[in-house]
Structure 1
Amino acid sequence: MEGMYLLNPDVDSKHRASLLTEHKLVPLVTRTAKVDWSIHPLWVERLKWAGLLPFARLVEATETSRHLSIDSSLLTCLVDRWRPETHTFRFRWGEMAPTLEDVSMLLGLPLAGNAVGLLEDPPDWQQTLAARFFNIYDGAPILASEAHGPKYDWLQHFRIERFPGYSQVPLSAIQITRSLEAYLLWLLGKVMFTENHVTTLSARYIPIALEIATAELAEQITPRSWGSAVLAATYRGMCNSCHLSTSKSAILGCPLFLQLWSWERFSIGRPNIDVDHSYHVGNMLDGDDIDLPTFGLCWTCRKRRYASEQTRRAYTTLNEQSDTYTGVIWQPYTEVVRIFRYPGGISVLCTRDRGYWMTKSKIIFDVFVEEMAQQRIMRQFGLRQLTPPPNTDNLLSVVVHRMTRKGTNRTRAQWLQRLEEYVLEWEIATKRRWHEQQAFDLAEYNAYLEGYMRGTRLRIVQHSNTDEIPDPHTCDTYPTYDTSGSRQYAGELAYSLHTDVMNFDRQLSSASLMVPRSQIQPWLKRLEQRIRDIYKAITCTRTSDVVHHQPQPTPVPRHSVHRHQPRPRLQGVEPTPHPPPPDQPGSSAWHQPQHHASSSSFMFQPTPQHHNPTPGFMYHPHPTGMVPPAYHGVSASGSGLGSEPDELPSHQNMWLDMFSTPPPWPTQDTQYDQGGSEIPPCNISPPPHMWGWSTPPTPPERQPRRRE
């Protein structure tokens, strides 16, 4: 992998990550439903036969649940880092991607079964659909449709809440069947496989919905690999949307799955939920162990809270946080977490098809064929990452990967001929697998990072000063916190530091006067590290944090309203000085010069002659236990604490530089604070004589005119 250029120039020239360095892009949008649908108890058995019941529970409308809105800004940040060349996200700590394991654990969709291949519109779907739903209840509207499919507004009339007297009168058998058919059209078209059509749903889902709704036995429903289809649709949606930069461009596929995947692994944009309390299954008791929770259920059904300091739906800020984030959760589905969250157990569909997780077979949805890259993200499975990652036996051609229905007029036979190879390949998916058995090894992962960091774009946000962001380091893969840089995190650190100092003070008060060095030195090391973390959390991390205020405009003197006083003359007012540049003393982002390693550039530019990486992309791995490059020259173990009094430890030099930062330049909120406090006053009033003249005296009272 060393010296390998991982960015395809043809793909990268139109990629959003390449355009972000020169243009300000807007976040993408989603086409998901805005309202959840309720599930009728008589639907449960047929949804279970089809393998859709655990997924349907994620978007079920109940009295206690609240609709999960999709954070398009967060998903756009992921799409900006998606690379169609490898089907992985490119982060500064390595590659990651949603896998079939994530589909099983988060959504509970089956992987075993037929590939969801070619979907076709029924030839006379409008007439048959209108006949089935005609007069299903008194006042039911007639079919409203377009060439693409039925209207979404028309379909919502058949939610079970819309039926007259639903809460008092039980629905008939035909009403149960028709309402389930409408529900499946909504579930497939607005949740699992979203499209650019906002007002209509695709008519290609009508045969599947009709088959499930009218089934009387489980054998009458074709077993389908819904999990691989959702992953294929999501992959294709990200491959297309990473090249879109116009407004109203959409992320297609299954945005719900992508958001749940992000929340499980990163704290960026993630809500707070009651994970400290285990999930009680309640009425979800099932003899088949299918109607049980999945890992995604805690995010959709529990109460979600966002902290006041937490960034949400802020595309630019989320992108900057993604460039400097360190709190990665590589394996969120461990047995310990599973027992803690769901002591009553999880759905059997979450683990039943684990034999498909490492398959080399292509995944299919409709006419889309996608390829997975588990060999590049072995760390997500807790396995050894080979360097370089091996290639698959049968690479997917670019022509097949670009297949779409747009601009084509192929017949059914032609589509089946193109897809036949990959449909047959999925039938033997459990036999074509990656057989890596060795556990994860950090040294080998460092070797993989050496080649990876030389040949790809590590950050996509163009910061004003690249030295302000530390270089990527393997320590990023072992986080100690998830909310770095926030005021909430700084408060937690300060409270923890205060508690530690108070406890140590009590120990000293009850111990002898001469405390051994072996007891006090470890405490001082922890104290040093916590103070350093607090300083890092509350200081500026970007040059854009500096307030660039403009000089005060020249005030216009008001006309005198007093008849006996002359108009005051405007005296000279000194202009407000400009703040110094961010790299000069006096700015809020300025620090004393420190000796840092050279920062990595944003994108590797190969030379035309040799195509070798630039020296700025050299990656120097540090041994385990050392601190990130932002603290070069400072020992993480605090060895200077044991030095002689006449020596100046290295960590004290760093502290002198750290805490000798001059105060920030006055801002619009603090320039009139006469008390010198760092907290701006609540009511700021201009000082006296700021306009250049004194207050005119009160004119004498006028004497009343005497009448002659």
Structure 2
Amino acid sequence: MAFQWLASCFYLTFIKPDNSAAIPTTINDHRAPSETFYNYCSSPTFPNHSMDSNPNVLLNDNDHIAANMHQDLYRLVRPRLHDPGYFHDRRVLPYLNVAGFGVAAYIQISELRADLISALVERWRPETHTFHLPCGEVTITLQDVAVQLGLSVNGEAVTGLGRVPDPWSTCERLLGRVPPNDEERRLTRIKFNWLKQNFQHLPRNPTQMDIIYAARAFILQLIGGILMPDVNQNKVSLMYLPLLEDIVLTGRFSWGSAVLACLYRELCRATKPSTKTIGGCCLLLQSWALYRMPFLASVSHQPYVWPLVNRWATVPGISRSFTLPMYRMMMETHSGDAFIWMPYNEEHIAALIPSWVTEQQQVFVSNVPLINFHMVEWHDGSRVLRQFGCSQPIPNLPVNIKEVHGMDKKGSGRDALNLAQKHEPYIILWNMRHSRRPFLYALEGGFSPTPEYAAWYMAYGKPFIFQGKYMLIQKDAQPESFF
């Protein structure tokens, strides 16, 4: 059915954008990378990439799980998540609000399905940071982070020193105490258990500093456990603590873009066949999929609440969900015509979203690097314009930042390295985010792709990664899930 839907697009009539040549705009700054940008929406042509060129130029399957399933047909990646295990004291909330984590503090833990997340990973393309589905390219954008998690996506880049120079005195100054040096000679991470034991309860008569210490500790729990977890599931990196020194300044950072940078990084890493775990905000990943592909949810009567990610924690149901082969089949056969392009425009959902979130919409579609210390990942809103109610032309070649894409802390030279200086060219581009938006043309005639885009996507994309293979679901063929 999905194939018939996509094929039918070739015979539909659309109002096409102006057929003028793409307008190049070159930014040559001695501090910024030299690159050429195109007016993506003024022309249906594909600059620097002809329709008859090698389709393998865009996507590389050499080390992607989607092309290596014959080696492990039921590979599951286990999502990382750590619940703080306690709710913050009400006296801490004003400081969390000022720091920009007031909404995130109310995120509820819902069960993550390794089967669903693994099926999404199979659709993820590291080259473009998009999922390839029968309907076209789609992705998790800055808009999704803002409305799902209630985090700001319009602020300063989250960066600083890769390693805190004097961690012991930093902890003493910002947390009021020092973790025991029981495992590491150099303090680089803090255990969640230590944070909980020392800051879950305020003293009987707390001072203002006691409350601020507890606020910083709770934010670290959110960062390392829910918003940006990595493979060290029981610890959080100390590099974030200095950014929490001045709570007012903390609220000026774009924590939402840092969350998305981490998730993009983990999705790219998880596409490697040997990967068994995935970090990043998998609560966001799973919720994004269920809002836009509701046919993946085993129950659909959960009430909508704020933040939107909490919908799946209000009524049990996602835990009684499907297996990996079932998710594969549903995405392959239903996401062509059943993908919800603009779920947040529905009246009962839009009514929940605060105005301060929608006021950030200027950057939702920006083409910018997302920065989170050593992580630099590209956010390309021009590839998924239908998610913003705009016509989707054939996109330009993806931006290549391979010198930093996938870089880990070790590769970035984390020892006392000022990552703000190392990544200055990308920070400059991030600071230009309000002007780095493609021209937008409103959709006319529904969300179906133009014939030009459909032809390009069939030639260069991965709308059907199975094409009948591995779609036969055998009874008891799949190993038990992690959960």
Task: Give TM class, smaller chain.
Answer: 0.7 to 0.9
2:148 counterpart (91, 106, 124) = 106
Cα distance in 2, alignment partners of residues 376 and 19 from structure 1: 26
Cα distance in 1, alignment partners of residues 458 and 177 from structure 2: 63
Q: Structure 1 residues 119 and 325, CA, compared in 2 at 3 Å: closer, same or farther? A: farther
Say whether residues 1:87 and 2:121 are aligned partners.
no
Q: Structure 1 residues 364 and 135, CA, compared in 2 at 3 Å: closer, same or farther? A: closer
Cα distance in 2, alignment partners of residues 408 and 381 from structure 1: 35
Q: Structure 1 residues 255 and 42, CA, compared in 2 at 3 Å: closer, same or farther? A: same
Letter in 2 for 1:236: R
Q: What are structure 2's unaligned runs of at least 5 residues? A: 1-45, 478-483
Letter in 2 for 1:315: L
The answer as to whether partners of 2:189 and 2:238 remain within 8 angstroms in 1 is: yes
1:232 counterpart (243, 261, 273) = 261
Say whether residues 1:337 and 2:348 are aligned partners.
yes
Cα distance in 2, alignment partners of residues 232 and 99 from structure 1: 10
Corresponding position of 2:427: 423
Q: Structure 1 residues 119 and 272, CA, compared in 2 at 3 Å: closer, same or farther? A: farther
Residue by residue, what CA displacement relative to the aligned partner does 1:411-466 show, whole Å, maximum 9, x if unpaired? 6567444311111222221122112123244575233112212333333347459x
Letter in 1 for 2:222: L
| Matched ranges for 1:349-428 at <5 A | 349-386=356-393, 388-391=394-397, 395-407=399-411, 409=413, 415-428=419-432
Say whether residues 1:154 and 2:167 are aligned partners.
no
Residue by residue, what CA displacement relative to the aligned partner does 1:353-384 show, whole Å, maximum 9, x if unpaired? 11111212222111222212222211111111
Larger relative strand fraction: 2
Corresponding position of 2:297: 270
Residue by residue, what CA displacement relative to the aligned partner does 1:189-236 show, whole Å, maximum 9, x if unpaired? 111111111332211122123433xxxxx4x54610111111111111
Residue by residue, what CA displacement relative to the aligned partner does 1:249-293 show, whole Å, maximum 9, x if unpaired? 221221121111111111354253545x675xxxxxxxxxxxxx3
The answer as to whether partners of 1:117 and 1:423 remain within 8 angstroms in 2 is: no
Cα distance in 2, alignment partners of residues 546 and 299 from structure 1: 28
1:311 counterpart (321, 337, 355) = 321
| Matched ranges for 1:142-541 at <5 A | 144=182, 146=184, 147=186, 148-160=188-200, 171-212=206-247, 218=248, 221=250, 223-246=252-275, 249-270=276-297, 272=299, 274-275=301-302, 293-300=306-313, 302-305=314-317, 311-312=321-322, 314-326=323-335, 327-338=338-349, 342=351, 345-386=352-393, 388-391=394-397, 395-407=399-411, 409=413, 415-441=419-445, 444-461=449-466, 463=468
Q: SS of 1:89's equivalent?
A: strand
Cα distance in 2, alignment partners of residues 297 and 198 from structure 1: 22
The answer as to whether partners of 1:88 and 1:95 remain within 8 angstroms in 2 is: yes
Cα distance in 1, alignment partners of residues 189 and 296 from structure 2: 35
Letter in 2 for 1:449: A
TM-score, normalised by the number of residues in structure 2: 0.78
Cα distance in 2, alignment partners of residues 384 and 315 from structure 1: 33
Q: Structure 1 residues 130 and 234, CA, compared in 2 at 3 Å: closer, same or farther? A: same
Q: SS of 1:297's equivalent?
A: helix
Cα distance in 1, alignment partners of residues 295 and 182 from structure 2: 42
Q: SS of 2:137's equivalent?
A: strand
1:51 counterpart (100, 106, 113) = 100
Q: SS of 2:252's equivalent?
A: coil
Q: Structure 1 residues 52 and 546, CA, compared in 2 at 3 Å: closer, same or farther? A: closer
Cα distance in 2, alignment partners of residues 325 and 545 from structure 1: 20
Letter in 2 for 1:155: L
Q: Structure 1 residues 544 and 186, CA, compared in 2 at 3 Å: closer, same or farther? A: closer
Q: CA deviation at 1:5?
A: 4.6
Q: Structure 1 residues 95 and 21, CA, compared in 2 at 3 Å: closer, same or farther? A: farther
Q: What are structure 1's unaligned runs of at least 5 residues? A: 60-66, 213-217, 280-292, 466-541, 549-708
The answer as to whether partners of 1:54 and 1:109 remain within 8 angstroms in 2 is: yes
Q: Structure 1 residues 377 and 45, CA, compared in 2 at 3 Å: closer, same or farther? A: same
Q: SS of 2:450's equivalent?
A: helix
Cα distance in 1, alignment partners of residues 418 and 208 from structure 2: 40
Say whether residues 1:122 and 2:132 are aligned partners.
no
Letter in 2 for 1:385: Q
Cα distance in 1, alignment partners of residues 425 and 195 from structure 2: 37
The answer to which structure, 1 or 2, has the higher relative contact order (CA under 8 A, 6+ apart) is: 2
Letter in 2 for 1:254: C
Q: CA deviation at 1:178?
A: 2.7
The answer as to whether partners of 2:119 and 2:324 remain within 8 angstroms in 1 is: yes
Q: Structure 1 residues 264 and 445, CA, compared in 2 at 3 Å: closer, same or farther? A: same
More displaced stretch, 19-28 vs 409-418: 409-418
Q: Structure 1 residues 44 and 133, CA, compared in 2 at 3 Å: closer, same or farther? A: closer
Corresponding position of 2:80: 31
Q: Structure 1 residues 172 and 272, CA, compared in 2 at 3 Å: closer, same or farther? A: farther
Q: Structure 1 residues 99 and 348, CA, compared in 2 at 3 Å: closer, same or farther? A: same
Q: Structure 1 residues 35 and 49, CA, compared in 2 at 3 Å: closer, same or farther? A: closer
Residue by residue, what CA displacement relative to the aligned partner does 1:637-677 show, whole Å, maximum 9, x if unpaired? xxxxxxxxxxxxxxxxxxxxxxxxxxxxxxxxxxxxxxxxx
Q: SS of 2:423's equivalent?
A: helix
Letter in 2 for 1:294: P
| Matched ranges for 1:522-561 at <5 A | 543-544=472-473
Letter in 1 for 2:229: T
Cα distance in 2, alignment partners of residues 437 and 53 from structure 1: 35
Cα distance in 2, alignment partners of residues 403 and 123 from structure 1: 21
More displaced stretch, 34-43 vs 363-372: 34-43
Cα distance in 2, alignment partners of residues 78 and 102 from structure 1: 16
Letter in 2 for 1:430: H
Identity of aligned residues (%): 25
Name the Cα RMSD after superposition.
3.2
Residue by residue, what CA displacement relative to the aligned partner does 1:316-350 show, whole Å, maximum 9, x if unpaired? 332232222243111101152335xx4xx432332
Letter in 2 for 1:332: P
Q: CA deviation at 1:127?
A: 4.7
Cα distance in 2, alignment partners of residues 405 and 226 from structure 1: 19
Q: Structure 1 residues 546 and 429, CA, compared in 2 at 3 Å: closer, same or farther? A: closer
Q: SS of 2:236's equivalent?
A: coil
Cα distance in 1, alignment partners of residues 472 and 426 from structure 2: 51
Q: SS of 1:333's equivalent?
A: helix
